[in-house]
Amino acid sequence: MIKQPHILLIYTGGTIGMVKDVETGALKAFDFNSLLVKIPELRLLDCTIETISFEEPIDSSNMNPIYWADIATIIGDNYLDFDGFVVLHGSDTMSYSASALSFMLENLSKPVIFTGSQLPIGDLRTDAKENLITSIQMASLQKEGVPIIREVGLYFEYKLYRGNRTTKLNAEHFEAFESLNYPHLAESGVHLNVNSEYLWKPNLNEKLIVRTAMDANIGVLKLFPGISRPICEAILTSKLIKGLILETYGSGNATTEPWFIALLQKAIKNGLYIVNVTQCVRGSVNMGQYETSSQLKTIGMISGKDITTEAAIAKMMYLLGEKVKPEEFKFYFETSLRGEMS
């Protein structure tokens, strides 16, 4: 007889963990120790659930690598005792956190599902209950005692996505997230339908390694028509930035102004890692396709291919934190490590 999956629920903060005080109307943090009392539907799930909460729940706008390390450490410390993990998190920075955890949890072979909500769990029309219940169900999916989902996912409004492929596109609708360059992993309808061919398939014999050394000394520069030389100089000559995500146009195109190309070339020569990521929400960087990107390829810029900006930031922090050798950095960034790029 196969035992019931054992799921750990990790509450970091966010709208999903708030309830409205009936008398005052004010929002306050939900007591997750009384989860089964407040949400009796969870008793119907074919799994056992335990909860861990941050001592002080945080708004996701305050999320940073220190908190990512806390989440990763909680998972690492409890990895052998649980079959899956559900992380409750504010939606605003959830794609960043899901991307970061995908890199920090090397050799992950169990589900880590991020979810949240647009409305508090105590609200009459809340999306929190469905997101929470189905995320736990997704984390509980097994075949012959082995988890079906073996990666960091993000579940929101009936769909499970690969976490490091997501972007938050809507602050108003329940369908807040999208994975525009990679199909969703599963969908919740009358049945839970899993798209098995798109799932990450790790080596089950490898031991989990938790890597928490994330280096946040990076920047993001979004190109726009008329971007000024002094601004670019200030960023590209800074001694404080070790890596830069450059958001370019279309398939990786940028202005061919001589001063701009010269600045990039000098920065790369001086050891700054610059990754070319498209501003488009769908599509890929293809340096050399047009004249406006061929120079970027020539001077040694790193191609972000179809990676999201959120995942590019997390991957840059991860590779810098792991102190990857300069001669190997471009290779590792342009290689899909956790399914973050095609």
* 35 touches 51 (CB < 8 A): yes
d(CA 125, CA 10): 23
Q: CA distances (Å), 11 to each of 17, 45, 284, 307, in order? A: 7, 19, 34, 28
Q: Given the residues 15, 126, 166, 167, select the one marked as catalytic.
A: 15
Tokens of 177: 């997230």
DSSP symbol at 35: H
Percentages of the chain per state (helix, strand, coil), in multiples of 5: 30, 20, 45
Measured CA angle at 91 (ends 107, 183), to 5 deg: 55
d(CA 270, CA 27): 50
Contacts of 257 (CB under 8 A, 6+ apart): none
d(CA 307, CA 215): 19
Question: Known catalytic residue: 308?
Answer: no
d(CA 229, CA 235): 10
Residue showing tokens 């590779």: 319
Catalytic residues: 15
